[in-house]
Structure 1
Amino acid sequence: MYSQRSLESRDLETICMFPQCEEELFYVSPRFVYPLTTDQILNIVKDRFEPTVILNNVTKEVVAYANIYKDDSEESSFWLGNVIVSPKYRGKGAAQYLLNVMLDKAKNNLRIERIKLACHSTNSRGLAFYSKYGFKPFDMKVTSIDAKKFITIHMSKELF
Structure 2
Amino acid sequence: MPTQLSHRPATVADLDDLVGFPQSPDELFFCYPKAVWPLTVGQLAAAMAERRNSSVVLLDGRPAGFANFYQWQHGEFCALGNLMVAPWARGHGVANYLVGVMEQQAREHYQAKLMKVSCFNANSAGLLLYPKLGYQLSGLVERRNQLNQRVALLQFSKAL
In the alignment, the residues of structure 2 paired with residue 114 and residue 71 of structure 1 have an alpha-carbon distance, to the nearest angstrom, of: 10
Residue pairs, 1:3-152, within 5 angstroms: 3-57=6-60, 60-70=61-71, 76-145=76-145, 146-152=147-153
Deviation, 1:35, is: 0.5
Contact between 2:21 and 2:85, CA under 8 Å: does it hold in 1?
A: yes
Deviation, 1:77, is: 4.3
In the alignment, the residues of structure 2 paired with residue 36 and residue 147 of structure 1 have an alpha-carbon distance, to the nearest angstrom, of: 19
Aligned to 1:46, the other structure's residue is in SS state: helix
In the alignment, the residues of structure 2 paired with residue 64 and residue 5 of structure 1 have an alpha-carbon distance, to the nearest angstrom, of: 11
Deviation, 1:71, is: 6.2
Question: TM-score under structure 2 normalisation?
Answer: 0.91
In the alignment, the residues of structure 2 paired with residue 105 and residue 76 of structure 1 have an alpha-carbon distance, to the nearest angstrom, of: 13
Aligned to 1:138, the other structure's residue is in SS state: strand
One-letter code aligned to 2:148:
A
Deviation, 1:144, is: 2.2
Aligned to 2:127, the other structure's residue is in SS state: helix
Aligned to 1:62, the other structure's residue is in SS state: strand
Aligned to 2:112, the other structure's residue is in SS state: coil
Deviation, 1:56, is: 2.0
Q: % of aligned pairs identical?
A: 31
In the alignment, the residues of structure 1 paired with residue 148 and residue 11 of structure 2 have an alpha-carbon distance, to the nearest angstrom, of: 37
In the alignment, the residues of structure 2 paired with residue 71 and residue 98 of structure 1 have an alpha-carbon distance, to the nearest angstrom, of: 17
The number of residues matched between the two structures is 155
Question: TM-score under structure 1 normalisation?
Answer: 0.91
Cα deviations by residue, 1:51-91 (Å, 9 ceiling, x for unpaired): 0001123xx2100000012268xx94420000000011111
Contact between 1:70 and 1:76, CA under 8 Å: does it hold in 2?
A: no
Deviation, 1:46, is: 1.5
Q: Which runs of 5 or more residues in structure 1 are unaligned?
A: none
Shifted more, 14-23 versus 100-109: the winner is 100-109
One-letter code aligned to 2:106:
A
